[in-house]
Amino acid sequence: MKCKLSDICVFRKGKVDVSKLTLKTYISTENMLPNKGGVTEASSLPTVQLTQEYKKGDILVSNIRPYFKKIWQAKCDGGCSNDVLVFQGNSNIDGDFLYYILANDDFFAYSMATSKGTKMPRGDKTSIMQYEVPIFDIDTQRKIASVLRSLDEKIELNSTINNNLEQQAQTIYQQMFIDNARSDWAEGTLSDIADITMGQSPSGSSYNEDGTGTIFFQGRAEFGFRFPSVRLYTTEPKRMARSNDTLMSVRAPVGDLNVAHMDCCIGRGLAAIHSKSHHQSFVLYTMFSLKKQLDVFNGEGTVFGSINRNSLNDMPIFIPPDDILDEFERIVAPMDLTIRNNYDENCRLQDIRDTLLPRLMSGELDVSDIDL
């Protein structure tokens, strides 16, 4: 048995005063992470007085380029941009179950198939509400959601650990290289410690999503917490980043960072930054520390929201002696490796979840014997 999505939920229509929002409670497609990765803190609030509201428990889905699979179940009240759809469940639907209906890859495929526009496809709200969903009693809904939620809770735990590790590493960097910087350290530029590769986009006809060729990242839209989500491949790679290189957005917003999980092709929206002396963790956290300087390029001069190779090469930095850099790597590189290992485990858990989800929704897997 199936029904339409409109039978179990509605689009929330209320507005909220932007003055009541914070960077933590404002959600836009920019601070939603791809591949069902949740959300990060917003970089700024909108300049309008009112914006779309959401309530705790609502399901937020980015309506721009649905193939990025950006979705989040609200943990608080807040506001979001008009490019984010807010689903409010009816009284006969379990909130977690509704989340997994919308997190199903089938839903994102349907949203893409019925979307409007080519370069920046946008889901059609009328068509979305015609999406067919399975009908289960409330007890079965909760059992299905509990199976999937147990996997997501482990993913969230790993993500929390990774966030904590990154904050610790940034604190160590701050103490070693900012708070206790020595006057005898050499003054230099980013090009003294790193090789910088500016991305170049291959021919659009070489792109594919079936795994043929080389992994390709166009820009920061694919960025996650630490590593970008793989969606596109190219058979005609131009500029390459090496595994563990720091990836930086060079077009608005300039300065967002990720790390290459493996060798990959990078488009014109990215640069790859590779340590010349095998101090890659130092390079990564140096780039984090340059955030304020890089923010200047998000709207200065005739080139709006971009940075060129020369400006990036010439970013001024202090260069500590190798023995101090070695000490930093000894402490922080294992932390970065743990972040990578946790990310790898999350990828495996996500694969299990996304394999189970459609089988549970179709009734192929029976949950009647599960005791909540």
Query: Angle at the Cα of 253 (from 177 to 238), degrees rounded to 5?
Result: 95
**Residue type at position 188:** G
For residues 71 and 58, give the distance between their C-alpha atoms in angstroms, rounded to a whole number: 11
At 32, list the tokens: 């939603």
Contact of 78 with 52, CB cutoff 8 Å:
no
At 66, list the tokens: 């649905």
pTM over 0.75: yes
For residues 18 and 31, give the distance between their C-alpha atoms in angstroms, rounded to a whole number: 17
**Residue 316 gets which letter from DSSP?**
E
What's the CATH code, domain 186-319?
3.90.220.20
At 9, list the tokens: 């939920």
For residues 175 and 171, give the distance between their C-alpha atoms in angstroms, rounded to a whole number: 6
Fold match, 2-135 / 186-319: yes
Contact of 128 with 85, CB cutoff 8 Å:
yes
- Domain positions in the chain are 2-135, 186-319
DSSP string, 349-369: HHHHHHHHHHHHHTTSS--TT
Provide the greatest CA pair distance for the chain. Answer: 74
Which option is the CATH number for 2-135: 3.40.640.10, 3.30.230.10, 3.90.220.20, 3.30.450.20?
3.90.220.20
Contact of 144 with 100, CB cutoff 8 Å:
yes
**Residue type at position 187:** E
For residues 261 and 227, give the distance between their C-alpha atoms in angstroms, rounded to a whole number: 6
Q: Give whole-number Cα distances, 184 to 181, 190, 208, 318, 321, in Å.
A: 9, 18, 51, 10, 10
Q: Which helix H or strand E contains 319, and what residues bound it?
A: strand 316-319
* Tens digit of each residue's pLDDT, the chain (372 residues): 899 999 999 999 999 999 999 999 999 999 999 999 999 999 899 999 999 999 999 999 999 999 999 999 999 999 999 999 999 999 989 999 999 999 999 999 999 999 998 888 999 999 999 999 999 999 999 999 999 999 999 999 999 999 999 999 999 999 999 999 999 999 999 999 999 999 999 999 999 999 999 999 999 999 999 999 999 999 999 999 999 999 999 998 899 999 999 999 999 999 999 999 999 999 999 999 999 999 988 875 444 678 999 999 999 999 999 999 999 999 999 999 999 999 999 999 999 999 999 999 998 998 988 776
